[in-house]
Amino acid sequence: MKINVNKIDDLFTNYKKSGKTAFIPFISIGDPDIETSFEIAKTLISNGADMIELGYPFSDPMADGKVIQKSYERALKNRVSMADAFNFIERLREISEIPVIFFTYYNPIFAYNPSKFAEEASAAGIDGILVVDLPPEESDELKKFTDEKNLDQIFLLAPTSDASRIKLVASYAKGFVYYVSVTGVTGARKSLPAEMRSKVNEIKKIKDIPVGIGFGISNPEQVKEIKNYADAIIIGSKIIQFIEDNLNDKKNIIKNIAEFSYSIKSSLM
């Protein structure tokens, strides 16, 4: 099968030259249903998303807060399979060349077969993989397959990561490093830690690699501050909350997400 031409590096290279910060929204495939989630993805793309992170629903999402947990529960009720997820991305590829990050846990990949997963992920048009419960020191089996298919395996760093941990993650990292802004699970927060800037600087001193910040970002005011030192802003729970709040009104889901996405993108200009 054809190997992807990876677009993540190109995007960050171009944005660095022009001083831009990327907007990466997160949604769950199949929430509230496959077709509506596809419309949400299209809406995000048309309202400013530079890259999109697509979550594969999993029954034990230990890194995710209640909003994303409920999102996965809704998607699982729709019996979303790996084949459905790849088909979703193939359809997205027909309308957009936006870089796609596939967010998942390792159990679904292991059950599917890591080699088969990497091959089909590449064929579907995925650019990066974020396996949230797979640290670098346990990632070699999957990494040999993702490297063969030119899929960036993205790793996490946290406020508690010391210099030795940053060096280890940086040595494995491709595409960008995902910096978790707060300790704990995902979820929109009214305030974010003041030390994020110094932590991003510490990461970049160890390796010149883009850093995306996620977990807790929920409004344009936060984005205006973070864009001064982050290469990407990642927002998930706030977007998914619009789905939860409007489950009986799909038009309102699309409307609210479009307006929010536009406001975030405008804050990055």
- What domains are there in the chain, each with its CATH number? 18-262 (3.20.20.70)
Catalytic position from the list 53, 120, 152, 231: 53
pLDDT in tens, 126-181: 999 999 999 999 999 999 999 999 999 999 999 889 999 999 999 999 999 999 97
- Cα distances from 55 to residues 94, 114, 224, 230, in angstroms, run 20, 17, 26, 22
The residue ranking higher by pLDDT, 185 or 6, is 6
Strand order in the sheet with 177-180: 152-154, 128-131, 100-104, 52-55, 22-28, 232-235, 211-214, 177-180, 156-157
Give the pLDDT score at 30: 96
pTM of the model: 0.92
Mean predicted lDDT score pLDDT of the chain: 91
Catalytic position from the list 64, 120, 152, 231: 64
137 is catalytic: no
Q: Maximum distance among all alpha carbons in the chain?
A: 49
pLDDT band for 58, please (50, 70, 90 cuts): confident
33 is catalytic: no
| Residue closest to 92 by CA, chosen among 129, 41, 55, 37 | 41
* Distance from C-alpha of 211 to C-alpha of 46, rounded to nearest angstrom: 24
